[in-house]
Amino acid sequence: MAGREPHRGAAERIRKAIALVNSVADDAGDEDITPTEIAEAIRDCLELGEVDEAPNVRRYLGEALDAVSDGMPADFVAMTLYAALGALREGGSR
């Protein structure tokens, strides 16, 4: 098990969602990215069973999805996704 990151699949999906949100937050010319696409990336994370193996990950992902739905700024959504990623890492270190 040495060298293997726990919950790697979920971590990769969360990182992809963060990258998508950050590209919008940075105004990197990605105005074609819609809130629907961001919400779909977060829903993809929620579909993984791994998110239930670490405390609070599902809660943070749900909060990020709600934030997209409520029209919150991309920076806020990204910070919530970072919290989910941190919780996933903490849950895997047990």
What pLDDT, in 10s, does the model give residues 6-42?
A: 578 999 999 999 999 998 877 655 567 899 999 999 9
pLDDT at 92 over 90: no
pLDDT at 1 over 50: no
Torsion angles phi and psi, residue 79, rounded to 5: -65, -35
What pTM value is reported for the model?
0.86
| pLDDT over threshold 90, residue 52 | yes
Helices (H) and strands (E) in the chain, counts: 4, 0
Q: What is the pLDDT of residue 35?
A: 93
Confidence band, pLDDT 50/70/90 cuts, at residue 93: low
CA distances from residue 34 to 5, 67, 87 in whole angstroms, order as listed = 31, 14, 26
